[in-house]
Amino acid sequence: MTTGRGCSRSPRFGTGMTLEEIILRHALGWTIDTLERERPAAGVMMIPIPKAGTLNSVHGLAEAKATRLVEDVVISAHVGQEVVPLPEGWQYLGFIFARGDAPADVEDALRIAHSVLRFGID
C-alpha cells in the first residue's frame, strides 16, 4: 500500500502502519485501530544534491546501508539524470532511514551513513 519512498515512511504507528497507509485508509473510510506512534526513535535524511549537473555514479551504498541503526538507503535519482540543488531544484538524491532507542543515536546513524556516500556529478 505504500510507495516505499520519502519521509512518510519513517514514522510508524501502533500496528506498524506508515503515515501513507494511515492517510489512504482514512480516505477510503477503512478502520485504523490506533494512531499511537511506535516508541523507538525514527529518522529520515533527505540526501541533498551537492551541485548541479548530471548524476554519473553512486558509491558507498553498501557501506551506508550497513551503518548501525540504518534500515535502508534509497537512491531515487538515477544515473544519467540531471540534478539541481535546492533552492532552484525540487528533488533529493534519495533518502536514508534509521531507527533506534535514542533520537541522538538515530541522528548520528543518518550522518554517518550520509558521510560514506559519494556521488559523481558532472
**Do 47 and 25 fall within a single domain?**
no
Task: Report which of 23, 33, 49 is spatially closest to residue 119, judged by C-alpha positions.
Answer: 49
Task: Report which of 8, 15, 40 is spatially closest to residue 109, judged by C-alpha positions.
Answer: 40
Q: For every one of its 122 residues, what pLDDT tens digit does the chain have, with 9 covering 90 and above?
A: 233 445 445 555 555 667 677 778 778 888 777 766 666 788 999 999 999 999 999 999 999 999 999 999 999 999 999 999 999 999 999 999 999 999 999 999 999 999 999 999 99
**Do 64 and 45 fall within a single domain?**
yes
Cis peptide before 87 (omega within 30 of 0): yes
Domain that holds residue 23: 1-39
Count of the separate structural domains present in the chain: 2
| CA-based torsion, 57, 65, 24, 11: positive or negative | negative
Terminal-residue alpha carbon distance, the chain: 36
**Do 23 and 65 fall within a single domain?**
no
**Do 110 and 65 fall within a single domain?**
yes
| CA-based torsion, 43, 71, 11, 42: positive or negative | negative
**Do 45 and 96 fall within a single domain?**
yes
**Do 44 and 91 fall within a single domain?**
yes
**Do 44 and 26 fall within a single domain?**
no
| CA-based torsion, 16, 20, 22, 28: positive or negative | negative
**Do 108 and 58 fall within a single domain?**
yes
**Do 71 and 109 fall within a single domain?**
yes
**Do 35 and 54 fall within a single domain?**
no
**Do 71 and 85 fall within a single domain?**
yes
Judged by DSSP in three states, 35 sits in coil
**Do 56 and 104 fall within a single domain?**
yes
Task: Give the CATH number, domain containing residue 93.
Answer: 3.30.470.20
Residue 25: predicted pLDDT: 78
